[in-house]
């Protein structure tokens, strides 16, 4: 069957098909029957539409099928489009043919079910209006990231997923048996990206990233997608500004393509519009502590990382994302260099989203000091042999360079305004869950 025979629900809702006979295919979203009339709400990827099935308007067999088909049954129906102010979306279909492609069994998901039950039924729950809307926005976000970097002259560069060394600390590594050896699932593409910028200069990538996060939080997944960039000849300031541009670009794309989905999710588009054009402040870690002290009466000891509570309290004073730079060098990864102007701090940054969504981007300038990196790796108990190739990059024409990683799910959760990162990825993997 050719596609042109089929009409999508959004075309009907746009009013272009009123009075015409159309063919639709989709699934039963809701249905109720009262004797000689069945009201079936049909859904397809573009929306939902009420279909009114009246005995006498179609064959007896078709009517019986419409009467007994349960929700999530798949259908091909024919009918006449009518404008109807009482119908949920202003239009209805007066059905003249009702062909059930597959009768559904009683659907296990009914109202008011626990989040854990919905997670067990994820393969079915994915059809919900909420998840469908989030997944559409996720698709826009991913597309926007590719578009942003490609428009700005970056090459897409892929790093191995199986890696012999760590990048972000040994405690969150997933070990994989590799023939007679062991490797780890990628925690970041960064070390390989640093090799590639000496050829390609400006690169980006988006790929699955794995971290064995041992605590349960609403913003950590064990498998997530990180969009990273790395650039030769770039310093910390350069990359913080690129990160701000990228986030604003993502917001613009979502606002252009997903107004309906934002509405389904109850997300305020005005707020996103503001952030799609606003300037985002840059402050230092030390200034962040000052704000916490003055405005929140919170005393954070200099040198301690900002916890969720502190980030949230800090962000209550801002209505856009904020870049925080110069965290204490001690608590930073081995490749983040000390700031020559303030040796206690590192040339690094986090971008923190407002409203409790926490860190969405993390990045830094990269160290070129082999001696310092060697010492730090040794202190962590790492085998230096594994990093010799990485140190080579500093021996053959090293240049200042910087990069960052943006957490796709963190950004999606924030844009959608959802309370748990697990809904920002189709099949979440966490400390307690790797099924279905």
Rounded CA gap, 414 and 360, in Å?
9
Q: How far is the CB of 121 from ligand ATP (least distance, A)?
A: 23
Based on the shown chain and the rule CB under 6 A, indicate whether residue 403 belongs to the binding site for ligand ATP.
no
Region near ligand ATP per CB under 6 A, out of 26-34, 77-85, 354-362, 365-373: 354-362
Q: Count CA atoms within 13 Å of residue 143 on its CB side.
A: 12
Q: Is 310 in the site for ligand ATP (CB under 6 A)?
A: no
By CB under 6 A, residue 353 contacts ligand ATP:
no
359 interacts with ligand ATP by CB under 6 A: yes
Q: How near is the Cβ of 402 to ligand ATP at its closest, in Å? A: 13
Taking contact as CB under 6 A, which single stretch among the options 56-64, 143-151, 152-160, 360-368 is the one that binds ligand ATP? 360-368
Q: Which residues contact 187 (CB under 8 A, 6 or more apart)?
A: 163, 166, 167, 168, 169, 172, 173, 209, 210, 211
**One of 165, 409, 415, 416 touching ligand ATP (CB under 6 A):** 409
What secondary structure letter does DSSP report for 171? G
**SS3 helix, strand, coil % of the chain, rounded to 5?**
35, 30, 35
Q: Give φ, ψ of 355 to 5 degrees.
A: 65, 30
Separation of alpha carbons 360 and 350, rounded Å? 7
Out of 41, 197, 361, 413, the residue judged to bind ligand ATP by CB under 6 A: 361
Identify which of residues 10 and 241 has a Cβ nearer to ligand ATP in the complex: 241
Residue 34: is it exposed, middle or buried by C-beta count within 10 angstroms (0-12/13-18/19+)?
exposed
360 makes contact with ligand ATP (CB under 6 A)? yes
Which three-class secondary structure state does DSSP give residue 310? helix
Residue 321 in contact with ligand ATP, rule: CB under 6 A: no
Which residues inside 217-256 make contact with ligand ATP, applying CB under 6 A? 220-221, 224, 226
> How many residues form the binding site for ligand ATP (CB under 6 A)?
15
Q: How many CA atoms lie within 13 A of 265 on its CB side?
A: 26
Which residue lies nearer to ligand ATP by CB, 75 or 314?
Answer: 314
Minimal distance in Å, beta carbon 269 to ligand ATP? 23
Query: Is 373 a binder of ligand ATP (CB under 6 A)?
Result: no
In this structure, the strands spanning 322-325 and 358-365 are unpaired
Residue 243: half-sphere exposure toward Cβ, Cα within 13 Å: 38
Would you state the structure tokens that stand for residue 325, as one six-digit string?
């730079």
- Half-sphere exposure (Cβ direction) of 170: Cα atoms closer than 13 Å: 10
- Give min distance, CB of 421 to ligand ATP, in A: 6
Q: 73 vs 187, which CB is nearer to ligand ATP?
A: 187
| 57 touches 97 (CB < 8 A) | no
Check whether the bond before 436 is cis (ω within 30° of 0). yes
Bridge partners (DSSP) listed for residue 350: 324, 362
Q: Which residue from 22, 45, 30 is spatially nearest to 95, judged by alpha carbons?
A: 22
Applying CB under 6 A, the span of 67-75, 105-113, 178-186, 401-409 interacting with ligand ATP comes to: 401-409
Q: Does residue 137 interact with ligand ATP by CB under 6 A?
A: no
Q: How far is the CB of 139 from ligand ATP (least distance, A)?
A: 18
Closer residue to ligand ATP (CB): 224 or 387: 224
- Assess contact for 91 and 83: CB atoms under 8 A: yes
CA atoms lying within 13 Å on the CB side of residue 126: 12
By the rule CB under 6 A, 145 interacts with ligand ATP: no
Among 213, 238, 241, 296, the residue binding ligand ATP under the rule CB under 6 A is 213
Q: Do 164 and 187 meet the contact criterion of CB atoms below 8 Å apart?
A: no
- Helix (H) / strand (E) containing 75: strand 74-83
Q: Which stretch binds ligand ATP (CB under 6 A): 72-80, 195-203, 368-376, 407-415?
A: 407-415
What is the nearest approach in angstroms of ligand ATP to the Cβ of residue 204? 14
CB of 76 to ligand ATP, least distance (A): 41
Does residue 323 touch ligand ATP according to CB under 6 A? no
Which residue in this structure is represented by tokens 């159309």?
Answer: 22
State in angstroms the smallest separation of the CB of 236 from ligand ATP: 14
428 lies in the binding site for ligand ATP (CB under 6 A): no
Of 66-74, 109-117, 367-375, 404-412, which segment contacts ligand ATP by CB under 6 A? 404-412
Footprint on this chain of ligand ATP (rule: CB under 6 A): 168, 211, 213, 220-221, 224, 226, 359-362, 405, 407, 409-410
């Amino acid at each position: 069957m050719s596609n042109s025979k089929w009409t999508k629900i959004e075309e009907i809702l746009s009013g272009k098909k009123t009075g015409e006979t159309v063919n639709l295919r989709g699934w039963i979203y809701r249905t109720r029957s009262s004797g000689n009339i069945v009201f079936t709400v049909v859904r397809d990827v573009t929306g939902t539409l009420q279909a009114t099935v009246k005995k006498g308007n179609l064959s007896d067999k078709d009517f019986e099928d419409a009467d007994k088909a349960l929700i999530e049954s798949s259908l091909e129906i024919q009918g006449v489009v009518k404008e109807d102010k009482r119908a949920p979306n202003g239009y209805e279909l007066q059905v003249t043919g009702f062909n059930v492609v597959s009768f559904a069994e009683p659907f296990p998901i009914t109202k008011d079910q626990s989040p854990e039950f919905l997670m067990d039924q994820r393969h079915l729950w994915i059809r919900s209006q909420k998840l469908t809307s989030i997944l559409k926005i996720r698709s826009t976000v991913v597309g926007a990231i590719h578009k942003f970097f490609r428009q700005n002259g970056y090459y897409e560069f892929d790093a191995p997923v199986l890696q012999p060394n760590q990048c972000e600390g040994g405690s969150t590594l997933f070990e994989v048996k590799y023939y007679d050896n062991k490797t780890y699932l990628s925690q970041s593409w960064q070390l390989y990206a640093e090799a590639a910028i000496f050829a390609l200069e400006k690169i980006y990538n988006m790929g699955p990233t794995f971290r064995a996060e041992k605590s349960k939080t609403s913003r950590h997944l064990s498998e997530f997608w990180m969009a990273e960039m790395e650039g030769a000849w770039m310093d910390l300031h350069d990359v913080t500004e690129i990160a701000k541009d990228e986030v604003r670009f993502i917001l613009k794309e979502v606002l252009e393509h997903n107004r309906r989905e934002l509405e389904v999710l109850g997300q305020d588009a005005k707020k996103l519009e503001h952030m799609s054009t606003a300037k985002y402040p840059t402050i230092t870690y030390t200034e962040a502590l000052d704000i916490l002290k003055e405005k929140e009466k919170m005393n954070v000891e200099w040198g301690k990382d900002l916890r969720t509570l502190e980030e949230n309290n800090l962000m209550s004073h801002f209505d856009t994302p904020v870049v925080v730079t110069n965290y204490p060098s001690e608590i930073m990864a081995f490749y983040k260099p000390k700031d020559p102007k303030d040796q206690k701090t590192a040339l690094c940054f986090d971008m923190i989203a407002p409203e409790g969504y926490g860190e969405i981007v993390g990045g830094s300038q990269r160290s070129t000091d082999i001696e310092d990196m060697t010492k730090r790796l040794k202190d962590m108990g790492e085998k230096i042999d594994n990093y010799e190739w990485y140190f080579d990059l500093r021996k053959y024409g090293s240049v200042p360079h910087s990069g960052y990683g943006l957490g796709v799910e963190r950004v999606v959760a924030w844009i959608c305004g959802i309370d748990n990162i697990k809904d920002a990825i189709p099949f979440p993997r966490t400390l307690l869950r790797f099924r279905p």
